[in-house]
């Protein structure tokens, strides 16, 4: 009997034309050549083993018009726009479009998993819980503009907030989907060697990005994030649900370690009594 990892699946992957999304397509099809991968992006996926659907994920009408398969086993929302883009575009893709595509795919799922790519930049978000809830209640571009009029975010801040919203929404989504046997998780990469790394240097600062690399020794690779997403989408991760998984080489720990001497050795107690 073959194991679960060899069973052909239908997997939808957004952002599949480059970076982490393309690395995930390559990894999945190298291991599971019979699996059907639906690769959604504004450009065609370079891996011709995948079935490409070209779509502007900031356009709700285009998302609604996608010719999705009748049954989907797993969804990876990898597509994202960096903070060098206008705030409205960032939020239209990273939150509004992500949610719309997820709802469309969930109609075709009876189990499996949804993995959303967030970012460790979520911790940079400066908005409160009520504003995040308000963003996640936005239903179209008009409501998104109204929300932006209230919050006055620029592109870089919109990116940070969009990723905070993705993390929070994924946790709530997991709880809502529990009864349907569908898992929902997020993955938060740190700085990663992808085509948009230079955008992050521009929006977050070259020095800040360089400091991150110096702390952990290098930037991450697209393949490293893809391997975590691949695992979380797989049946091997059936008991992993409702969490955010940082993929950043220990950067968060290096920034936040509070104990001054974590490697100090316990000393044996010497009994001096006779």
The pLDDT of residue 196: 67
Query: How high is the pLDDT of residue 186?
Result: 98
User: Which pLDDT does position 205 carry in this prediction?
Assistant: 80
Report pLDDT digits (tens) over 69-85: 999 999 999 999 999 99
Residue 16: the pLDDT is: 98
* Sign of the torsion angle spanned by Cα atoms 154, 171, 231, 73: negative
Note the pLDDT of residue 265: 84
Q: Quick one: pLDDT at residue 212?
A: 80
Domains and CATH numbers, the chain: 4-256 (3.40.50.720)
User: Residue 272 has what pLDDT?
Assistant: 66
Q: What is the pLDDT of residue 3?
A: 46
pTM above 0.85, yes or no: yes
Low-confidence ranges of the chain (pLDDT < 70): 1-7, 196-197, 199-200, 271-274
């Amino acid at each position: 009997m073959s194991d679960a990892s060899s069973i052909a699946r239908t997997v939808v992957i957004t952002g599949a034309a480059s970076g982490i999304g393309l690395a995930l397509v390559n990894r999945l099809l190298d291991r599971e050549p019979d699996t059907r991968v639906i690769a959604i992006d504004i450009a065609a996926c370079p891996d011709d083993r995948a079935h490409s659907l070209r779509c502007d994920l900031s356009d709700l009408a285009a998302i609604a018009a996608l010719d999705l398969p009748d049954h989907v086993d797993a969804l990876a929302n990898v597509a994202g726009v960096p903070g060098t883009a206008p705030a409205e575009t960032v939020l239209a893709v990273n939150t509004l479009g992500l949610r719309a595509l997820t709802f469309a795919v969930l109609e075709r799922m009876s189990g499996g998993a949804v993995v959303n790519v967030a970012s460790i930049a979520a911790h940079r978000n400066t908005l409160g819980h009520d504003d995040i809830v308000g963003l996640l209640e936005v239903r179209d571009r008009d409501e998104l503009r109204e929300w932006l009029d209230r919050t006055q975010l620029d592109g870089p801040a919109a990116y940070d907030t969009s990723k905070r919203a993705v993390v929070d929404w994924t946790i709530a989504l997991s709880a809502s989907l529990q009864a349907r046997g569908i898992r929902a998780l997020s993955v938060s990469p740190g700085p990663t060697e992808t085509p948009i790394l230079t955008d992050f240097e521009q929006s977050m600062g070259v020095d800040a990005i360089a400091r991150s690399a110096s702390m952990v020794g290098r930037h991450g690779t697209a393949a490293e994030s893809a391997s975590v997403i691949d695992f979380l989408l797989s049946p091997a991760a059936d008991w992993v649900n409702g969490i955010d998984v940082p993929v950043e080489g220990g950067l968060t720990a290096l920034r936040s370690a509070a104990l001054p001497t974590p490697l100090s050795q316990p000393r044996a107690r010497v009994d001096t009594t006779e």
